[in-house]
Chain A
């Protein structure tokens, strides 16, 4: 069974740092891009970052560029989100999601097909 399990969410003070983890299982992790998406309370989904399957190419939303860093460990089948200089606007449930990859054609699509259950980050001011 394909599974993504996030952890690391916590209450942190404004200006602080936090590292989220997402442990993957049930699929060949090293063959998939991975994403982080967040959702503030009562609000919609907002994409945060994406990393390719090798871990050597990442893209970020403008709101987090320069503050957040996505990385992965294919041996540990885990993707991370290092969050620095946190502000109240970063309070949200953070989901990791698997990228859409057609294993037959080996084509990588930008969409996501499997999501984790989320981990909650609360930044206090």
Chain B
């Protein structure tokens, strides 16, 4: 059970806009930057969004990130078949005893 909650799956049709939510608390998302990673089957994860809403070079502007309070979202517009992958949110979790980096459980995006 992750401290960051993501929907297990989302789906959309080509051209549609979908969002993936990531819910946390004041101990993690509320006070730290959020990162988003994408993972294709059998491949290593790659960063899709860093420091809440910054896109690495090479990531199209169809992808956008936002954060509000203790939640974050990844939006994908103009959905394409090649967007089908697993998406993970992640952030630092502040704790006096066990500070750690935490990932959400992951969301499988299906393009119908």
Residues of A whose CB lies within 8 Å of any CB of B are 35, 37, 44-47, 50, 59, 61-62, 95, 100, 109-118
Q: Mark B29-68, 1 if CB is under 8 A from A, else 0.
A: 0001101010100001111001100001000000000000
Assess whether B75 is interfacial by the CB under 8 Å rule: no
Contacts A45-B88, A95-B44, A117-B44: A111 and B35 contacting too (C-beta < 8 A)? yes
Cβ–Cβ contact B100 & A59, under 8 A: yes
The 3 A-B residue pairs whose C-beta atoms are closest, nearest first, are A47-B101, A110-B92, A111-B35
| B51 CB contacts on chain A under 8 angstroms | 100, 109, 111
| B56 CB contacts on chain A under 8 angstroms | 113
B22 to chain A, nearest CB (A): 13
Query: Can you identify 9 A-B contacts, CB atoms within 8 angstroms?
Result: A37-B103, A44-B105, A46-B103, A47-B90, A47-B100, A61-B100, A62-B98, A113-B56, A117-B44
Contacts A44-B2, A45-B88, A109-B51: A115 and B100 contacting too (C-beta < 8 A)? no
